[in-house]
């Protein structure tokens, strides 16, 4: 059975368009690269200085000099480009990244995101998140809907903000939510077997329901597991 992370990553991948330059955050967002739709050609960007990044290296493929921003050894595709960090952040801040996908600790109905400080724990810092969420043309948060039952979607974030009014879309294993600057959380899709009542109960902010709520896209073999 597909787990929550696979379901989320597959759905996020449906937002990719041919020719996009895309930044995938560490953790769950990296799985999006496994589900790029057929016929879609994207360039993966890593903020430490790569465009044209491939997948995680197998043990026999490792080049210790080639790592992504999380320090993981990766492959690169033919035509990949390497550059310094200053150039990389110039690309990000200059609006040349079409889409960034990252996780979050909290998101609120204004599109504010908290993603870099975990109370009571040492954290390595925000990485490039602060730049990416304001520099990318589209910002998608890919995360599980709750943290062991505790809400992640709020009327107002309580943790320190990574960025304000930056999130465009949230994809969880329960559904797809668009962030409207006027309306707040607009529910667009539900995962198979999930009801509006269930996703609202797991969300600490009102969900706006407009028109038909469609079913989240997933492979037929995964969908059959919910029937």
For residues 101 and 142, is the Cβ–Cβ distance under 8 A? Answer: yes
Distance, CA of 65 to CA of 22 (rounded, Å): 22
Length of the chain equals 227
Interatomic CA distance for residues 53 and 66, integer angstroms: 10
Distance CA 22, CA 3 (A): 24
Dihedral sign, Cα of residue 43, residue 66, residue 89, residue 168 = positive
Cα 46 from Cα 144, distance rounded (Å):
23
Catalytic residue among 15, 38, 47, 189: 47
Is 47 assigned a catalytic role? yes
Closest CA to 26 of 70, 83, 89, 80: 70
Catalytic positions are 47
């Amino acid at each position: 059975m597909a787990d929550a992370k696979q379901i989320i990553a597959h759905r996020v991948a449906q937002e990719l368009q041919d020719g996009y330059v895309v930044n995938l955050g560490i953790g769950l967002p990296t799985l999006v690269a496994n589900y790029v739709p057929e016929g879609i050609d994207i360039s993966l960007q890593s903020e430490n200085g790569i465009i044209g990044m491939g997948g995680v290296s197998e043990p026999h493929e490792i080049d210790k000099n080639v790592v992504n921003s999380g320090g993981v050894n990766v492959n690169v595709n033919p035509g990949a480009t390497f550059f310094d960090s200053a150039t990389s952040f110039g690309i990000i801040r200059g609006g040349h990244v079409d889409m960034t996908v990252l996780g979050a600790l909290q998101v609120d109905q204004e599109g504010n995101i908290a993603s870099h400080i975990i109370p009571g724990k040492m954290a390595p810092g925000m990485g490039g998140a602060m730049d990416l969420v304001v520099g990318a043309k589209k910002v998608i948060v890919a995360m599980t809907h709750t943290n062991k039952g505790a809400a992640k979607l709020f009327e107002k974030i309580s943790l320190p903000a990574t960025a304000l009014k930056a999130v465009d879309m949230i994809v969880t294993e329960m559904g797809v939510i668009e962030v409207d600057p006027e309306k707040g959380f607009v529910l667009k899709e539900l995962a198979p077997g999930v009801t509006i009542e269930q996703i609202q109960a797991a969300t600490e902010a009102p969900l706006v329901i407009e028109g038909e709520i469609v079913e989240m896209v997933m492979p037929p073999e995964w969908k059959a597991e919910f029937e």
